[in-house]
Amino acid sequence: MLSIIRRFGFFSGRIPGYYYSLLLGLVYGYLVLFGLLYSFIRKGPGWFFKRKRRGTWPGCMDNEELGKHGFLRINNLKLHYVAAGDRSKPLMLFLHGFPECWYSWRHQMKAFSVNYRCVALDMRGFGESDRPSGKESYRMEVLVDDVKASISALGYSSCTLVGHDWGSVIAYTCCSWYPDIVDKVIIINGPHPSRYFEVLKTNPTQFLKAWYIFFFQIPLLPEFALSVGDFPVFKNLFKNIDLTDEQVEVYKYSMSRPGAISAQINYYRGLLTSSSSSWLHKDIVVNTPTLLIWGVNEEAMVMDVTKGLKKYLTNVSKQYVDAGHCVQQEKPSDVNRLMKEFLEE
């Protein structure tokens, strides 16, 4: 399959990669349909159509030790955030990944709010933030501009930027396009976009691991598949993290908001829009001091995405942790220690 994709110009400038992604998405869609049918037969209609009503967020989100809730109004958008620490301190801005929310940074908020003004966003489409419709609302240019505008709206000219998963991709790009607004950047299990697409086109294992990116390009079915059985995606995502039922409810609540599933999937759909093609084909070079923390038990990406980074990251320190994708939640003490050492350099 990989040789066929190479031959017909997948992610090349000759033929738009979107149409091939959509074709692959249809193939994976049929496989997902078979999986859903199997789940229906094995677990029954009671499990299959189970969907809990969630009108209010779980009480653990109101923990004052984590910070205070607030809203920013930027770019005709309302963004929810939680902030901790004195306003006179330097800004540390946290960007979460898919399919999470601000709560993923609770351990780091506690640890660094003594020396920083820590702000964890619900990025557009997530949690209590607005959820504009259409994949064009989730292009990289839009997502980066949200970060830039948020820093200004919070009363700062620059920040220490911390990103995980999708938040990391946005953080890398923000540093490349607007280096003056980021003092240091900390990346946690997030691939550098230029390196990721290099590996995707040459490594068959990574190509197969990226199946969900293609699956998310098709309409409707991804939304349905994620909600079947009341969001079982979180059971696998957090399998190595000691979370209470109430804490898992935080993420289910975030994804169950009206229009939230489509909005969050649109991050992937916006990635391959025709207006994003120029971004995909440009090298994202970051000169900002960078710390890359990587959980070596990552399931969605091969280790090669953490190698060959020197041409993209001119000032990078890499640290590996015996953990999975959500390393900042699985091994918070290790992550906090590495962050602290990097910030004190």
Taking the model in full, what pTM does it have? 0.94
pLDDT for 200 beyond 80: yes
Q: Over the stretch 214-241, which tens digit does the pLDDT of each residue have?
A: 999 999 999 999 999 999 999 999 999 9
Question: CA 163 to CA 157: how far, in whole Å?
Answer: 18
pLDDT of residue 274: 58
User: What are the tens digits of pLDDT across the range 91-110?
Assistant: 999 999 999 999 999 999 99
| Nearby residues of 6 by Cβ (< 8 Å), 6 or more positions away | 201
Q: What share of the chain is helix, strand, coil (3-state, %, to 5)?
A: 50, 15, 35
Residue 193, classified by CB atoms within 10 Å of its CB into exposed (0-12), middle (13-18) or buried (19+), is buried
**Catalytic residue IDs:** 165, 268, 325
Q: Residue 4 above 70 pLDDT?
A: no
Distance CA 85, CA 88 (A): 9
pLDDT of residue 154: 98
- Residue 185: its H or E element: strand 182-188
Strands across the sheet with 91-95, in order?
A: 68-74, 77-84, 117-121, 91-95, 159-164, 182-188, 290-295, 316-321
Q: Which two tokens stand for residue 29?
A: 């869609």
The answer to which of 6-15, 133-142, 166-175, 302-311 has the lowest mean pLDDT is: 6-15
pLDDT at 260: 97
Of 22-26, 77-81, 129-133, 155-159, the one with minimum mean pLDDT is 22-26
The pLDDT value given to residue 141 = 93
228 Rama sector, left if φ>0, alpha if ψ -120 to 50, beta otherwise: beta
pLDDT above 80 for 15: no
- Mean pLDDT, the chain, whole residue set: 92
Name which of 343, 80, 321 is nearest 188 in CA terms: 321
All domains of the chain, ordered by start, with CATH? 2-344 (3.40.50.1820)
Report the percentage of the chain scoring pLDDT > 70.
94
Dihedral class, residue 180 (left if φ above 0, else alpha if ψ from -120 to 50, else beta): alpha
Q: Is 20 a residue whose pLDDT tops 90?
A: no
Q: Quick one: which H or E segment has residue 95? A: strand 91-95
